[in-house]
Amino acid sequence: MAGGFFAILDDIAALMDDIAVTSKVATQKTAGILGDDLAVNAEKATGFLSSRELPVLWAITKGSFINKLIIIPIALLLNYFFPIAIKWALVLGGLYLAYEGVEKIIEYFFHRPKTGHEVIEEAKQEDAAAEEKAKVKSAITTDFILSVEIVIIALGSVLDKPLLTQILTVFVVGFLATVGVYGIVALIVRMDDAGFGLIKRSNDKGFLAVVGNLLVKALPIVIKALAVIGTLALILVAGGIFVHNIDQLHHLFPQLPSIVKEAAIGLLAGIAATVVMTIGKKTISLVKPN
């Protein structure tokens, strides 16, 4: 009886060792997409009032966990019964990411920035809660697409392992991705508060005050940089999805560096998606009765 109990413990320990090894491998393979995920979500989690930053970030984090709980079982089932569907799901997700990236570029270059008076008047008229909800929804939607990529890459790294190992590895990677990404995002968006705290504690003197001022001054630069990096990440991730899942694109221009090819393809796909969406919106507005 005791021998059987210890044999079960040995099996569990061996399984945990396997999960640790496969999770490490899968995490290494998803490192690139996790970096893009961090840049994109850090950019999306900024732009709120200081008092709303952490509640908003927590709402996005909960949405990310729910995304993983939806995606992982579906990915496992599709991989077993209908593996081709995973490829097409990735391609459609790539189109969405490319569209979002190009839309940000168009907004930056072609939309006239508002004056201070316009911003104040608009803020009085808009429902702040509804705007916050819309931003959270957009962030969770983008997280869903990136989570699909993370889960598929993690699953692809353990396809030769037993089913239980596949399931546990993908769940571990999904959990670490959410905690790691949004933990770092939380640190970024609270940089200024940490800086003010250090300044106050040091009475604006000494080393702590220097560090505090550095954090406060660095936050706007970091946010602007994340906006640029997040936009580039959307286009690069989309291009990478197309290149790695569409054979014709994979073998196109083999002499080009992969990052150049992925950026170009992601940008072209985003432009095409934007044109289609713009035509579709205008068509609907013309057809829709007043």
Q: Which two tokens stand for residue 119?
A: 């911003």
CB atoms within 10 A of CB 216: 17
Q: In angstroms, rounded to a whole number, what is the distance separating the alpha carbons of residues 176 and 166? A: 15
Q: Which residues contact 140 (CB under 8 A, 6 or more apart)?
A: 60, 63, 64, 67
Express each pLDDT in 80-111 by its tens digit: 888 888 778 878 888 888 888 898 888 888 76
Q: What is the pLDDT of residue 119?
A: 44
101-152 pLDDT per residue, tens = 898 888 888 765 544 444 444 445 456 677 778 888 888 888 888 888 788 8
Taking the whole predicted model, whether its pTM rises above 0.75 is answered as no
Question: Cα separation of 19 and 170, whole Å?
Answer: 9
What burial letters (b/e) apply to 88-103, b meaning 16+ CB within 10 Å?
ebbeebbbbbbbbbbb
150 Cα distance to chain centroid: 9
pLDDT at residue 29 in the model: 60
Whole-number pLDDT of residue 168: 86
Query: Can you give the residue range of the structural domain that contains 184?
Result: 2-287
Distance of CA 171 to the CA centre of its chain: 17
Structural domain total, the chain: 1
Highest mean pLDDT among 17-31, 93-107, 137-151, 268-282: 268-282
Residue 269: predicted pLDDT: 92
Q: Give the residue with greater pLDDT, 165 vs 73.
A: 73
For the beta carbon of residue 75, count every other beta carbon within 10 angstroms. Answer: 22
Q: Give the C-alpha separation, 144 to 1, whole Å.
A: 47
